[in-house]
Structure 1
Amino acid sequence: MDDAAPLPTPGAGRIRQNDIYTAGIHGRTPRVPTDFAELERRAHDAMSDRAWAYIAGGAGEGTTMTSNRAALDRWAIVPRVLRDVSVRSLGIELFGRRLPAPVLISPVGAGGLVRRRADVEIGRAAAELGVPYIFSNQGSAPMEDVAAEMDRVRTGAPRWFQLYWSTDDDLVDSFLGRASAVGADAVVVTLDTTMLGWRPQDLNIGSLPFARGEGIDQYTSDPRFREIVAERLRSAVGGDRPEVSLGAIRTLGSIARNAPGRFLRNLTAPEPRASVQTFLDIYSRPSLNWDDLAGLRDRTSLPIVLKGVLHPDDARRAVDAGVDGIVVSNHGGRQVDGAIGSIDALAEIAPAVDGRAKVLVDSGIRTGADVLKALALGADAACIGRPHMYGLALAGADGARDVVANIIAELDLTLGLSGYTAVADLDTDVLRKIG
């Protein structure tokens, strides 16, 4: 809808439905489609080839993306009738904060491909809904700017921070300190991207956003990262003469445009180009292991959530190590082709965790019915990834907000139509496995 959406309230589904139908009386239709297939189709038309490849693409042949949907489709909802469902509650509690719905907005790197300073607009959308936005470590705006916009909309609006574990420990500490300073409720450590997966859609057009300075704003705004770049420049001793080509000139323009400071200065200054190369060299740590994790509790007081867990043994070990939560995720099918669907993994992991830590899930969640299935299988909340980016492509912050508002509205209606009044009451009794 065009006006700022309120926090999800009891009856959120019928309220949103009625708002859309009332607007229809006056000939107005939603700016973002209410079904995922049409949303995806229209977003494809709205995005550049590079944006679509990065946001919508998957690893290898895309079979993990297919598995994510197949895993959800193997579970069918079995509604119950003649129950009073006139009053319903979607509220949950995560890490001491009461949330209006069991939904978070996932981090998506290089969102600037879709909309300049995308993270600020997504933060605004999340704040209007009152649901957490997990700030992307590979964001297109500094976390401080996103937090300020969220607080402008709703003071203290919930936000988390995603951490990619760099090879530079001081940079990790700097990110953690900044996340705490902007009021993050948790730090989400992404474990499944210590290296980029094989992504043919990007490879076929030779497009790596970060090499063009896109999606590295958390780094270029960080004092420790700038120290690393300065140290590298001081120790530089010449080097090979770079190849001059039209593509290289365009890339330089992109780097200059995305770097802090004035565009004309950035075209000739060494720092922007050095920042890109430094990022590519240090952003991830392939050697990351359980020993590294053991020291994380001493480095931050924030709740620690591990993202990318797919095996129940890893989930048990994480809980034994004292983490506060896990995100069952295959990175939206973007890292390993042929991996297990996230919902199939959730069905094994939730019993293994057995309530000792919070369990969230992402990858393949598209609708309110999908969220209900995830909750019934043991998730405490679900994270929305590609859908909100598609809404962003179509209508900016309003589009991202409306896509998530639609998912929450459908969850509310599906909850009641299935015979339940609170998401806390959902369990596998509402589901049947059909394949």
Structure 2
Amino acid sequence: MVDEAGARRRLDPAHWDFFAGGAGDERTLGANVEAFGRRRIVPRVLRGTGERDLRTGLLGCELTMPVLIAPTAFHRLAHPDGEVATARAAAAAGTVLVVSMAATQPVGEIATTGALLWFQLYPQPDREFTTTVVRRAEAAGCRALVVTVDSPVFGRRERDLRNGFLDLPSGLACENMRDADGRIRDIVMDEGLSWDSIAWLRSRTHLPIVLKGVLHPADARLAVEHGVDALIVSNHGGRQLDGAIASLDALPAVVEAVGGRLPVLLDGGVRRGTDVLVALALGATAVLVGRPVIWGLTTGGADGVRSVLEGLRTELDRALALAGAARPTELGADLVAVPRG
């Protein structure tokens, strides 16, 4: 479905390593995919499901399927049309693109595609500048803020260090990091990020706040108490803390802790429509997909991204039928098993 090998052939080796790699020994990177490989679907039969309905509502957005595009940086390294191409594909597929704070095109330009956009944010120690970025996302019509909370410091990505990949090539920049004078600022991780930071952000925006990077059920309960609007169970695609639990393995405990009080999404390791089904059965409202979208963008621009999304849609639709369900909300944990041995 995804031409990963073709993307690797097209990309500069250092850029391939940036997109494909993870932190440290990349144990968590591999664990995300392996966690899906350990699960088996236990389908129901004779359910008379008829035509399936994949539509999903999230934070006031109506999606045609429970698959969103995860925030990933530097799309213009993959294709000259960059995030605009990705957004065109999201609009055509009827789903959400979460625009990265480290996008190589400004969120206002990305918004001209008409795509449903959420905006991913690293709260900066400079709160005034953070407010400027938030206002920019609001002005572009973004429908939610996705706050990455698993990154008080950068993970150690050894492939990037070996390649000396520390800056974007000439002509590219993190366009959403421009200050009021038009100068590009560096993204600074906030080592003091806390629940007080989330409360401060709530006081500065009317947008729903989604926390990305929650793995521990205690943090999920705290998120509910602090009035967060949704969670993304995520280990940053294995790019931050190597050795962290796989997102899928963390999902059930987070879902239980939340107790249906807010939506729980998942990213990390989703490669097939059957992976989407497993995540939904274990309690996710939807999933986000990152690297496969980059591979599609690299090989085919907007058409390549749309091909990835439509492939996931088709596979999920077929998997629902074969599992005996007409819609994602009919899936339950009883449909997923982990064989012994």
TM-score (norm 2): 0.96
Q: Are 1:206 and 2:154 matched, yes or no?
A: no
The answer on whether the counterparts of 2:106 and 2:176 sit within 8 Å (CA) in structure 1 is yes
The answer on whether the counterparts of 1:81 and 1:418 sit within 8 Å (CA) in structure 2 is yes
- Partners of 1:90 and 1:384 in 2: how far apart? 16
Q: Partner letter of residue 380 of structure 1?
A: T
Structure-2 residue corresponding to 1:272: none
Q: Are 1:424 and 2:329 matched, yes or no?
A: yes
The 3-state SS of whatever aligns with 1:115 is: coil
Decide which moves more: 173-182 or 304-313: 173-182
Decide which moves more: 138-147 or 208-217: 208-217
Q: Partner letter of residue 170 of structure 1?
A: E
- Structure with bigger helix share is 1
The 3-state SS of whatever aligns with 1:124 is: helix
Structure-2 residue corresponding to 1:246: none
Q: Are 1:147 and 2:52 matched, yes or no?
A: no
Unmatched segments (≥5 aa) in structure 2: none
Q: Are 1:219 and 2:183 matched, yes or no?
A: no
Q: Given the alignment, which residue of 110, 115, 128 partners 2:79? A: 115
1:195-247 CA-to-partner distances (Å, cap 9, x unmatched) read 22111111111002348674411113x42x63xx5xxxxxxxxxxxxxxxxxx
The 3-state SS of whatever aligns with 1:390 is: helix
Q: Given the alignment, which residue of 128, 137, 146 partners 1:188? A: 146
Structure-2 residue corresponding to 1:378: 283
Q: Partner letter of residue 53 of structure 1?
A: D
Q: Tell me by how many angstroms 1:117 deviates.
A: 4.2
Q: Are 1:402 and 2:335 matched, yes or no?
A: no
The answer on whether the counterparts of 1:110 and 1:209 sit within 8 Å (CA) in structure 2 is no
- Partners of 1:363 and 1:212 in 2: how far apart? 31
1:286-333 CA-to-partner distances (Å, cap 9, x unmatched) read 211111112221110000000011111111111110000010001111
Question: Deviation above 2 Å: which 4+ runs of structure 1?
Answer: 209-215
Q: Tell me by how many angstroms 1:161 deviates.
A: 0.5
- Partners of 1:71 and 1:316 in 2: how far apart? 24
Q: Tell me by how many angstroms 1:97 deviates.
A: 2.3
Structure-2 residue corresponding to 1:135: 99
- Partners of 1:96 and 1:311 in 2: how far apart? 26
The answer on whether the counterparts of 2:154 and 2:189 sit within 8 Å (CA) in structure 1 is no
The answer on whether the counterparts of 2:214 and 2:233 sit within 8 Å (CA) in structure 1 is yes
How high is the sequence identity, in percent, across the aligned residues?
43
Decide which moves more: 381-390 or 201-210: 201-210
Q: Partner letter of residue 412 of structure 1?
A: D
The answer on whether the counterparts of 1:92 and 1:424 sit within 8 Å (CA) in structure 2 is no
Structure-2 residue corresponding to 1:285: 190
The 3-state SS of whatever aligns with 2:163 is: coil
Structure-2 residue corresponding to 1:172: 130
The answer on whether the counterparts of 1:160 and 1:184 sit within 8 Å (CA) in structure 2 is yes
Q: Tell me by how many angstroms 1:40 deviates.
A: 1.6
TM-score (norm 1): 0.76
Q: Tell me by how many angstroms 1:81 deviates.
A: 1.6
Structure-2 residue corresponding to 1:300: 205
Structure-1 residue corresponding to 2:253: 348
Unmatched segments (≥5 aa) in structure 1: 1-33, 152-156, 230-274
- Partners of 1:207 and 1:398 in 2: how far apart? 28
Q: Tell me by how many angstroms 1:126 deviates.
A: 0.3
Q: Partner letter of residue 118 of structure 2?
A: W
Decide which moves more: 206-215 or 306-315: 206-215
The answer on whether the counterparts of 2:81 and 2:301 sit within 8 Å (CA) in structure 1 is no
Q: Given the alignment, which residue of 82, 94, 100 partners 2:64? A: 100
The answer on whether the counterparts of 1:116 and 1:140 sit within 8 Å (CA) in structure 2 is no
- Count, aligned residues: 340
Q: Partner letter of residue 205 of structure 1?
A: N
Structure-2 residue corresponding to 1:79: 43
Structure whose CA Rg is larger: 1
- Partners of 2:280 and 2:10 in 1: how far apart? 33
The 3-state SS of whatever aligns with 1:295 is: helix
